[in-house]
Amino acid sequence: MEDTEVIRQQMSDTRASLSDKLGALEQQVMSTVQDTTQSVSDTVETVKDAVESTVTTVTDSVQETIGTVQEAFNVSRQFEQRPWLMMLGAVGVGYLGGRLLMPAQEHRARSFASPTYRPAQPVQAPPPAPLAAAAPAAASSSFATQ
């Protein structure tokens, strides 16, 4: 009987030891799960803050760029700040527009022709005078006087 009592005692000690070890393991797992959960929560918060900061930075940058572009294309403001440059640009655009819209031959014809003189009919030269009949008589008279 003693063997049975010893075995029961050993079984009881083993149960108590296993129970203690399971309790310690449970505490360790729970601590690890809590630490992991806290770490994930901290990471999520960090990423969320980084994304919000990036969105704010990009939004500010885009708004600043839009303002700069609107200012650059504000024609009345450009005329106020740089009137001579804008006048020179307008003359250049007019010149280029005229060159592009007018065909090359028409442009050449207009640049060499006088804008005020336009003959109604083509002018014909008068007929030549008869020089052949007058020439021998003049030659004979100059030899005869000598």
Residue 112: the pLDDT is 56
- Tell me the pLDDT tens digit for each residue of 98-141: 888 877 666 555 655 555 556 566 667 777 777 655 555 555 55
What one-letter code names the amino acid at 69? V
Distances (CA, A) of 69 to 58, 64, 73, 141: 16, 9, 6, 95
- DSSP class of residue 102 equals S
Compare 62 and 142 and report the one with higher pLDDT.
62
What helix, strand, coil percent values describe the chain, rounded to 5?
80, 0, 20
Distances (CA, A) of 17 to 11, 29, 146: 10, 18, 169
